[in-house]
Homo-oligomer: A and B are copies of this chain.
Amino acid sequence: MPYRAAVTDYLFMIDTLLDADALRQTTRFEEATADVTAAILEEAGKLCDEVLAPLQRNGDLHPARLENGVVRTSPGFAEGFKAIAEGGWIGMGADPEYGGMGLPMILTSAVNEMMSGACISLQLAPLMSQGQIEALEHHGSDAIKELYLPKLISGEWTGTMNLTEPQAGSDVGALKSKAVDNGDGTYAISGQKIYISWGDHDVAENICHLVLARLPGAPEGTKGISLFLVPKFIPNADGTVGARNGVSTVSLEHKLGLHGSPTAVMQYDNATGWLVGPEQGGMAAMFTMMNNARLGVGGQGVGVAEAAYQHALSYALDRKQGRAGADGTGSIADHADVRRMLVEMKADVFAARAIGLSCAYALDMANATGDASWRARAALLTPIAKAFGTDTGCNVAHTGVQVHGGMGVIEETAAAQFGRDVRVTTIYEGTNGIQAMDLVARKMMDGGEAAGLLLDEMEEDIERARPDFPNMADACWQACESMREATEWLVAQDDMNNRFAGAVPFLRAFARVLGAQLHLKAAMADKGGPREKLARFYILRMLPEHAGLLTHAQAGEADLFAVTTDALAS
């Protein structure tokens, strides 16, 4: 059974979990009608199923390689990228003025997610371009926008993000790359950057690097960082590519997974760059871009989870063993524990997907209405969508291998590739620990107001379900109350380490509870149907996990740091 993009699921969620009408009543997204939505998702689904999914194994078996300074990508990847570009999928959310489609983020998210499920290592290329498009839309000069955006949107050129240096990972402020003003509107950029996804390749004619660097005399730390656009080939005024710039690919990493995505060490030697945003405004510009990139990475986790789930289900239904079970298929899917694994996988994919779409929806409403509460909602949900989406990617891929039994570790079955490919998603774009710290610190700077409003809304939804599903509603409502208490406890901690000590369990609990409420809402739209059954499984068996997590979340730092580094090493 080959990969099939989960078009039905996205349409169901957009129609029933989100208030799609409210979005369609805004001027900005009035064209994203139900018909347009369905047509777009079906068209993207076709691309994923027919063009991209067949490339996924190529990337793994024939990794991108560096030959004489030139990166050669995996077989078929150039054609695959071209198909994505020509379908308009790179710029689906971009400004129509520069060739974008101006569609809402819920559609971009859905399409990115289904492309990840089809071939995550290739999908990472347009995802990086999307981040760059967004950064330039917000912070680029008009000249930069006019020159670069049409090329990035059409896929003639691609974009990358250059943050990390060997000594500066999660601590971006420690970076040492330098920029010197050339006095002609350009800057000379020098330094080495690592982990540059799609840093070099042969699928497009130019590669535009967004590079964080420090101007002479700039302060230490994140405050002193500026953002520069550094193209591989310096564009001529007419948009054709000109001279080679002072940027080169030092090496490609040998990675656990994502072999089809070239991860480069990039060297900048007095490369010509253009300032994006104000001097020393680099981190602010990066943050605009990172928030959406984080949602995008969360979607990569969900996409791979979907693919791993489909792969495992297909194997299970095909594998006849033992006596015929409940549904009489005679397959291992009728064995209780295999069924448990499959249902858990599906229920978590649903929850993670619904959380990601809810986050995208909040972004859309914020962008369409300018309403600060929607902006705050999106900001709150972003770290949850990123961390829970990618944790789900890892967990579902792990369980998928388990469903395969011994075949799971045989590389030819391709079951293990999902776990290898998705592993980095819990790390890049801010590790999931960083996401959790963002949630309990920056996203709680409002004193927990955004979280409280979300919990209020969730409880209203839950109350609507109570007459039909009293048990499920009660479990969800109690869980919301526990989340509320935990949030209040967190917000009351002035010593941030008391928050950080339990940040990850807090985030996981929040995702569990959000997932439960979204499952319940789905049950309301499918009474007696399969979505109600799935919701029941999730709410009565998986939701209870939140209580233990919240105990951990509120345990504080003292007992944690009481286990000293000496004790750890003893």
Contact of A255 among B333, B334, B409 (CB under 8 A): B409
Residues of chain B within 8 A (CB-CB) of A542 are 552
Interface residue stretch chosen among A17-25, A35-43, A560-568? A560-568
Interface string of A266-309 (1 = CB under 8 A from B): 00000000000000000000000000000000000000000000
- Per the 8 Å Cβ criterion, residues 532-559 of A in contact with B are 533-534, 536-537, 540-542, 544-549, 551-552, 555, 557, 559
Q: Are A410 and B551 CB-contacts (below 8 A) given A340-B504, A504-B337, A561-B339?
A: no
Residues of chain B within 8 A (CB-CB) of A169 are 321, 405-406
Q: Are A548 and B537 CB-contacts (below 8 A) given A560-B343, A561-B339?
A: no
Separation in Å of the A323 CB from the closest CB of chain B? Answer: 9
Residues of chain B within 8 A (CB-CB) of A258 are 409
Residue A442 at the B interface, CB < 8 A? no
Residue A375 at the B interface, CB < 8 A? no
CA distance A570 to B8 in the complex (A): 9
Residues of chain B within 8 A (CB-CB) of A321 are 167-171, 174
Residue A368 at the B interface, CB < 8 A? no
CA distance A369 to B428 in the complex (A): 56
The reply to whether A346 and B394 contact each other, CB–CB distance below 8 Å, is no
The reply to whether A530 and B570 contact each other, CB–CB distance below 8 Å, is yes
Interface size class of A (residues with CB under 8 A): 35 or more
Interface residue stretch chosen among A96-104, A151-159, A455-463, A495-503? A495-503
CA distance A314 to B555 in the complex (A): 26
Separation in Å of the A441 CB from the closest CB of chain B? Answer: 11
Nearest to A424 among chain B residues (CB) is B409
The reply to whether B416 and A402 contact each other, CB–CB distance below 8 Å, is no
Q: Are A548 and B551 CB-contacts (below 8 A) given A255-B411, A537-B559?
A: no
The reply to whether A565 and B402 contact each other, CB–CB distance below 8 Å, is no
Residues of chain B within 8 A (CB-CB) of A431 are 402, 405
CA distance A504 to B340 in the complex (A): 9
Residue A445 at the B interface, CB < 8 A? no
The reply to whether A540 and B565 contact each other, CB–CB distance below 8 Å, is no
Contact of A564 among B327, B504, B549 (CB under 8 A): B327
The reply to whether B433 and A423 contact each other, CB–CB distance below 8 Å, is no
Residues of chain B within 8 A (CB-CB) of A560 are 336, 339-340, 343, 537
Residues of chain B within 8 A (CB-CB) of A500 are 335-337
Interface string of A310-327 (1 = CB under 8 A from B): 000100010001100011
CA distance A395 to B479 in the complex (A): 26
CA distance A437 to B256 in the complex (A): 33
CA distance A561 to B334 in the complex (A): 8
Residue A401 at the B interface, CB < 8 A? yes
CA distance A425 to B496 in the complex (A): 39
The reply to whether A256 and B411 contact each other, CB–CB distance below 8 Å, is yes
Nearest to A339 among chain B residues (CB) is B560
The reply to whether A401 and B423 contact each other, CB–CB distance below 8 Å, is yes
Separation in Å of the A225 CB from the closest CB of chain B? Answer: 16
The reply to whether A406 and B164 contact each other, CB–CB distance below 8 Å, is yes
Residues of chain B within 8 A (CB-CB) of A562 are 533, 536-537
- With most chain B CB atoms within 10 A of its CB, the pick from A436, A549, A565, A567 is A565
Residue A408 at the B interface, CB < 8 A? yes
Separation in Å of the A257 CB from the closest CB of chain B? Answer: 7
Residues of chain B within 8 A (CB-CB) of A501 are 336-337, 339-340
Residue A89 at the B interface, CB < 8 A? no
Residues of chain B within 8 A (CB-CB) of A341 are 433
- With most chain B CB atoms within 10 A of its CB, the pick from A256, A321, A502 is A256
CA distance A428 to B405 in the complex (A): 8
Residues of chain B within 8 A (CB-CB) of A401 are 256, 423, 427
Residue A488 at the B interface, CB < 8 A? no
Residues of chain B within 8 A (CB-CB) of A547 are 544, 547-548
Q: List 17 A-B contacts (CB under 8 A).
A: A164-B406, A254-B411, A336-B497, A336-B503, A336-B557, A337-B433, A340-B504, A402-B426, A402-B427, A405-B427, A409-B423, A530-B563, A533-B559, A536-B559, A537-B559, A544-B551, A544-B552
Top 9 A-B residue pairs of the complex, sorted by shortest distance between their CB atoms: A530-B567, A336-B500, A544-B548, A337-B433, A545-B548, A256-B416, A544-B551, A541-B552, A326-B561
